[in-house]
């Protein structure tokens, strides 16, 4: 009986959370489509003009372009840098390994503000502050370690016997990599890629600190427009936020066809069954 | 709750989705018996055990103990002891804490708990191990602690789920003897699950052979070993040689003579086989006599193909004149390529009804 | 290929170095260097020549500034506790899989895609004074006055919860599902009811994962910036250390002072993590000590 009550309470909690979520998203959606809305349960009239307004006024074309470019570049570079490192860390043991792991973990541990401010300062001094390059380089700092930590478990799951077997059959390092390791780590690369993508697109502190006029990502632009002193109608900001959400959600839903939700989070050290 | 049971009766069906894992699996167990569920992986034996323990609900059916229906009872209220294949000791607790766990839940006085734990450790021959952690123990020691932990509560029924599978061969033999010893000492009603027929034969009063959720044969170890009722049980219990044959004559007391691919084989059967019926003759490798070209029934000639040295005996594979392969266990030293006479003593040959193509698993 | 355990070629052969070098160099150049530079900056205040702790003195003597430490902790700690507790409860009860598990986990992952701005706007709207939530409760006569849930601590915490709960829940779910189910089964066979199983058997085994989850959520909460600005009172009650650092950097243009605040933020966060680590030791010891006393 008590078990039943617990079960019920939990379903209610999940339900509550979902309703909460729906309420929040729905509110913003309604706002984005309303002509004027103040105080009443629903707006008096609807319109789609805010989307066009946002597109023109906020320069969404450029912003979207920057965001997508930054995201894709960061994903590629992070995976490129992180993949070999994850392999070595998964397979080898050496005295400096704990130090190395800590080193890789620090950018994820230390608040982005803490290293972002001096990083931004340095970048502006060397002239790459405020550029797309600068933004890419900045966001890469926490994303490379993230790639490493997500890919490591995937390598650990591949028995070393597979590599040895390939070597016994005459494969050199490169062939083993291309024909054995790469296909088997594809799920890991996919998972890591998606997570890095989502994290990059949603990153705020670093993109905010380093971004400049022509290198704002969507989130940063949204933020500026809210604090633009009331000049921007809230409906247009909501429209832009909605566009952001739709874009990322589509990405996420595509990704979830290939990856299970539990694989998308930071893997804790699990006791082996 | 009484400390022993008089009878355990059940009939259970279990489905996982569309897959039927147990189909009307029914049995009656008397108190103090040692019963084994024997079968290959996936036959449902562990599922049945888990249902009896209360850890899994049955899709359909009932479980009765001494006339009371218990299938709605949660496992913590059943008073059964259970030993798991991977020991399932609590890694964060000492040996003492592990064994004392159940007693503490019963709010026994500390002195009593100490006494009973010590007693149990003596019984499983690990005195003084109270302060060790499971991680510091070997497999055999862990299993003994797991047994101690179950027994210390004086359960009225003991369930054992392949407890020896994770141990190496030598340890397995030792632990088997321990379990046998414990059972004869304590007289506890026990249900044991295994895929190892040697364990089943040596430990049990009653063996239940299962295949894909269905009961294939239930009987004493001697019954199951000497008189398997069907091809699956015969194969599982070690009859390696099977000869599809057509019955020629059948006597009133089960004597049968049949022809298998040109070989005239004489043997016995417990089934009713009429002349002309399709049957299978079966004999164990150990029962085949090699050498002495005596006269009499069941004498055949074969060419030795492979000889494997097993220490005392040899495992020999011969090809008979009829083309059939024959497995033999013999002390005789043979050479590949030799032609040898072999005899199937008629009292060691059994006949089983043919089951059509694919009768043997 | 270097062989293991033969003792002669090192595990760190040329190939290993080559694989590690790019990412390692990147972290060293783009993280360690700025990090150290930030510390250097903080010790060289704008208006003073040379090395000085003036920034730090200024911080701890300015009430407006040092209050941010307390505020940040008062925000991060309760939020972490609530997120982890809820995640644990839900994950524990879903450990054997429940009906609609895939659907529920998918739905819980989706908030990742919302973005902090939409979340902020949505919460402001939905839970605002005239938002749907309050309109509903007032309309149903359950409340006299609307609840003040935005532009304060609560608003920020709602935002943080929505962002962190899914992530923490999925982590714990993965971890708890990895615990051997026969341990729980054996505890039940020994007579333990569900609560006893949780308290004396499962919780000690979940503790390590719980500690890591706690640490990660704490880290995420401590550094909160946009949520605090959008949904709180950035110049008052919810002025977190991150906001203070930002203000110094981009409103006062005092990079040195901003770096000092940022460094302090990092230090306080690490202090918090150390406390978590110590608490975890104590918790594990308590769980295993009460049991099995001779």
Q: Give residue-wise pLDDT tens across range A184-224.
A: 888 889 888 988 988 898 898 899 999 887 888 888 888 88
Handedness of CA C214, A146, A207, C251 (dihedral sign): positive
Q: Which chains touch B (3 or more CB pairs under 8 A)?
A: C
Is residue A63 domain-shared with residue A85, that is, in the same domain?
yes
Is residue A122 domain-shared with residue A236, that is, in the same domain?
yes
| Tens of pLDDT, residues A171-181 | 888 888 888 88
If DSSP codes are grouped into helix, strand and coil, which group holds residue B245? strand
Q: Which of C15, B28, C243, B138 is nearest to A113 (CA)?
A: C243
Q: Give C184-241 as a 3 state SS string.
A: HHHHHHCCCCHHHHHHHHHHHHHHHHHHHHHHHHHHHHHCCCHHHHHHCCCCCCCCCH
Q: What is the dihedral of CA B220, B225, B229, B232, to 10 degrees?
A: 120
**B90 vs chain C: nearest CA distance in angstroms?**
7
Give the pLDDT band of residue B293 (cuts 50, 70, 90).
low
Handedness of CA C264, C266, C272, C277 (dihedral sign): negative
Please give the pLDDT value at position C16.
87
Please give the pLDDT value at position C8.
55
| Tens of pLDDT, residues B163-180 | 999 899 999 999 999 999
- Let me know if residue C52 belongs to a domain: no
| Tens of pLDDT, residues A22-69 | 888 888 888 888 888 776 777 778 888 888 887 887 788 888 889 999
Q: Is the pTM of this model over 0.80?
A: yes
Please give the pLDDT value at position C294.
36
Please give the pLDDT value at position C293.
40
Is residue A33 domain-shared with residue A116, that is, in the same domain?
no
Q: Check B53 against C185: CB less than 8 A apart.
A: yes
Domain count, chain A: 2
- Let me know if residue A273 belongs to a domain: no
Q: Which of A130, A124, A131, A149 is nearest to A199 (CA)?
A: A149
Measured between beta carbons, the chain C residues lying within 8 angstroms of B104 are 291
Closest Cβ–Cβ partner in B90, B131, B150 for C183 = B90
Is residue A145 domain-shared with residue A19, that is, in the same domain?
no
Higher pLDDT, A265 or C273: C273
Measured between beta carbons, the chain C residues lying within 8 angstroms of A227 are 229
Give the pLDDT band of residue A270 (cuts 50, 70, 90).
very low
Domains with residue ranges and CATH for chain B: 7-231 (3.40.50.300), 239-353 (2.40.50.140)
**Cα-Cα end-to-end distance for chain B:** 43
Which stretch of B199-203, B220-224, C262-266 has the lowest confidence by average pLDDT? C262-266
Is residue A11 domain-shared with residue A138, that is, in the same domain?
no
For chain A, what percent of residues have pLDDT higher than 70? 93
Average pLDDT of span B142-152: 94
- Let me know if residue C121 belongs to a domain: yes
- Let me know if residue C101 belongs to a domain: yes
What is the block-wise mean pLDDT of chain C (294 residues), using blocks of 10 residues? 54 84 92 89 81 82 84 92 93 81 80 84 84 81 79 88 89 87 93 91 89 89 88 83 87 86 90 88 66 42
Is residue A10 domain-shared with residue A88, that is, in the same domain?
no
- Let me know if residue A32 belongs to a domain: yes
In DSSP terms, which residues pair with B318 in a beta bridge? B304, B326
Task: Report the interhelical angle of A60-91 vs A218-226 (nearest 10°).
Answer: 130
Please give the pLDDT value at position C1.
47
C277 lies in which domain range?
Answer: 62-289
Is residue A212 domain-shared with residue A245, that is, in the same domain?
yes
Give the pLDDT band of residue B132 (cuts 50, 70, 90).
very high
pLDDT at B232 over 90: yes
- Report yes or no: A92 at the C interface, CB cutoff 8 Å: yes
d(CA C98, CA C87): 15
- Let me know if residue A269 belongs to a domain: no
If DSSP codes are grouped into helix, strand and coil, which group holds residue B320? strand
> Tokens in use for C99?
């009906």
Q: Which of residues 125-184 of A touch C (CB under 8 A)?
A: 137-138, 140-141, 144-145, 148, 163, 167, 173
Please give the pLDDT value at position B9.
93
User: The domain that contains A112 carries what CATH number?
Assistant: 1.10.3720.10
Nearest CA in chain A to C212: A268
Domain count, chain C: 1
Please give the pLDDT value at position A272.
37
Is residue A15 domain-shared with residue A132, that is, in the same domain?
no
Is residue A115 domain-shared with residue A226, that is, in the same domain?
yes
Please give the pLDDT value at position C292.
42
% helix / strand / coil in chain C, to the nearest 5? 75, 0, 25
Is residue A145 domain-shared with residue A59, that is, in the same domain?
yes
Q: Which of residues 187-246 of A touch C (CB under 8 A)?
A: 198, 201-202, 204-205, 209, 218-219, 222-223, 226-227, 234, 237-238, 241-242, 244-245
- Let me know if residue C241 belongs to a domain: yes
Is residue A229 domain-shared with residue A192, that is, in the same domain?
yes
Please give the interface size between B and C, counted as residue pairs whose CB atoms are below 8 Å apart. Answer: 83
pLDDT at A273 over 60: no
A239 lies in which domain range?
Answer: 49-264
User: The domain that contains C154 carries what CATH number?
Assistant: 1.10.3720.10
- Let me know if residue A214 belongs to a domain: yes
Higher pLDDT, A218 or A232: A218
d(CA C292, CA C294): 6
Nearest CA in chain B to C192: B76
- Report yes or no: C49 at the B interface, CB cutoff 8 Å: no
Distances (CA, A) of C139 to A8, A23, A42, C145: 27, 17, 14, 10
pLDDT at B361 over 50: no
Is residue A14 domain-shared with residue A145, that is, in the same domain?
no
Give the pLDDT band of residue B115 (cuts 50, 70, 90).
very high
- Let me know if residue A73 belongs to a domain: yes
Q: What is the mean pLDDT of chain A?
A: 85
- Per-residue buried b or exposed e for C10-29, using 16+ beta carbons within 10 Å of the residue's own CB: ebbeeebeebbebbbebbee
């Amino acid at each position: 009986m008590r078990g039943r009550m617990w079960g019920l309470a939990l379903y209610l909690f999940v339900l509550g959370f979902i309703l909460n979520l729906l309420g929040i998203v729905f509110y913003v959606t309604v706002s984005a489509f309303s002509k004027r809305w103040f105080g009443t349960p629903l707006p008096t009239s609807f319109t789609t003009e805010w989307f066009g307004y946002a597109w023109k006024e906020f320069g969404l074309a450029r912003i979207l372009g920057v965001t997508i470019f930054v995201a894709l570049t960061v994903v590629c570079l992070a995976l490129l840098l992180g993949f070999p490192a994850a392999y070595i860390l998964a397979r080898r043991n050496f005295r400096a390994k704990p130090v190395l792991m800590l080193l890789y973990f620090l950018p994820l541990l230390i608040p982005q503000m803490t290293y972002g401010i001096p990083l931004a300062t340095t970048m502006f001094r060397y002239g790459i502050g405020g550029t797309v390059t600068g933004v890419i380089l900045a966001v890469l700092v926490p994303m490379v370690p993230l790639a490493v930590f997500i890919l490591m478990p995937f390598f650990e799951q591949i028995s070393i016997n597979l590599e040895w077997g390939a070597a016994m059959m005459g494969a050199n390092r490169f062939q083993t990599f291309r024909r054995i390791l790469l296909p088997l780590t594809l799920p890991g690369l996919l998972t890591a890629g998606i997570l890095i993508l989502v994290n990059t697109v949603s990153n705020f502190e670093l993109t905010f600190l380093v971004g400049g006029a022509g290198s704002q990502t969507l989130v940063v632009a949204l933020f500026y427009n809210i604090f633009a002193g009331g000049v921007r109608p809230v409906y247009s900001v909501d429209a832009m936020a909605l566009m952001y959400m739709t874009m990322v959600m589509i990405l996420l839903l595509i990704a979830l066809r290939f990856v299970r939700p539990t694989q998308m989070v930071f893997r804790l050290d699990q006791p082996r069954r | 709750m009484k400390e022993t049971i008089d009878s355990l009766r059940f009939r259970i069906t279990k489905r996982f989705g569309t897959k039927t894992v147990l189909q009307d699996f029914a049995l009656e167990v008397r108190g103090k018996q040692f019963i084994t569920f024997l079968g290959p992986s996936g036959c449902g034996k562990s599922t049945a055990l888990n249902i009896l323990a209360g850890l899994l609900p049955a899709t359909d059916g009932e479980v009765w103990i001494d006339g009371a229906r218990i299938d709605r009872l949660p496992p913590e209220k059943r008073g059964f002891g259970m030993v798991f294949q991977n020991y399932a000791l609590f890694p964060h607790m000492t040996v003492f804490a592990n064994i004392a766990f159940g007693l503490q839940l019963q709010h026994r006085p500390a002195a009593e708990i100490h006494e009973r734990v010590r007693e149990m450790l003596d019984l499983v021959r690990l005195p003084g191990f109270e302060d060790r952690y499971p991680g510091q123990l070997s497999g055999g020691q862990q299993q003994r602690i797991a047994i101690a932990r179950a027994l210390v509560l004086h359960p009225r029924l003991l369930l054992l789920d392949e407890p020896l599978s994770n141990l190496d061969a030598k340890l397995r033999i030792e632990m088997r003897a321990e379990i046998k010893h414990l059972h004869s000492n304590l007289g506890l009603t026990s249900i044991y699950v295994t895929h190892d027929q040697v364990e089943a034969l040596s430990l049990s009063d009653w063996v239940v052979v299962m295949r894909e959720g269905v009961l294939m044969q239930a009987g004493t170890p001697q019954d199951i070993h000497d008189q398997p009722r069907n091809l699956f049980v015969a194969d599982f219990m070690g009859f390696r040689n099977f000869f599809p044959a057509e019955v020629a004559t059948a006597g009133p007391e089960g004597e049968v003579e049949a022809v298998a691919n040109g070989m005239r084989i004489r043997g016995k059967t417990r089934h009713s086989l009429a002349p002309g019926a399709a049957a299978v003759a079966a004999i164990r490798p150990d029962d085949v006599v090699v050498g002495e070209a005596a006269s009499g029934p069941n004498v055949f000639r074969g060419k030795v193909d492979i000889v494997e040295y097993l220490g005392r005996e040899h495992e020999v594979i011969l090809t008979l004149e009829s083309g059939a392969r024959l497995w033999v266990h013999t002390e005789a030293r043979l050479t590949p390529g030799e032609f040898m006479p072999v005899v199937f003593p008629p009292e060691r040959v059994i006949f089983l009804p043919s089951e059509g193509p694919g009768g043997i698993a | 290929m270097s062989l293991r355990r033969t003792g002669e070629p090192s595990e760190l052969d040329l190939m290993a170095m080559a694989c590690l070098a790019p990412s390692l160099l990147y972290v060293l150049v783009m993280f360690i260097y700025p990090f150290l530079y930030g510390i250097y900056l903080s010790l060289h205040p704008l208006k003073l020549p040379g090395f000085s702790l003036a920034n730090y003195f200024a911080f701890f003597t300015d009430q407006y500034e040092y209050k941010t430490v307390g505020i940040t902790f008062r925000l991060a700690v309760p939020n972490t506790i609530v997120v982890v507790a809820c995640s644990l409860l839900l994950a524990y009860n879903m450990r054997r899989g429940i009906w609609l598990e895939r659907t529920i986990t998918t739905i819980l992952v989706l908030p990742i895609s919302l973005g902090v701005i939409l979340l902020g706007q949505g919460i402001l709207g939905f839970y605002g004074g005239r938002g749907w939530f309050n309109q509903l409760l007032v309309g149903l006569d359950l409340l006299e006055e609307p609840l003040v849930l935005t532009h304060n601590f609560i608003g920020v915490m709602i935002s943080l919860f929505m962002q962190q709960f899914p992530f923490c829940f999925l982590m714990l779910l993965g971890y708890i599902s990895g615990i051997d189910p026969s341990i729980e089964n054996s505890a039940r066979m020994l007579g333990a009811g569900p609560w006893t199983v949780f308290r004396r058997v499962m919780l000690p085994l979940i503790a390590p994962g719980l500690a890591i989850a706690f640490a990660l959520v704490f880290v995420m909460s401590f550094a909160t910036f946009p949520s605090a600005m959008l949904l709180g009172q950035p110049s008052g009650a919810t002025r977190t250390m991150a906001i203070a650092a930002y203000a110094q950097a981009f409103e006062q243009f005092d990079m040195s002072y901003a770096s000092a605040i940022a460094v302090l933020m990092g230090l306080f966060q690490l202090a918090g993590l150390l406390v978590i680590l110590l608490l975890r030791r104590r918790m594990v010891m308590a769980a295993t000590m009460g049991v099995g006393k001779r």
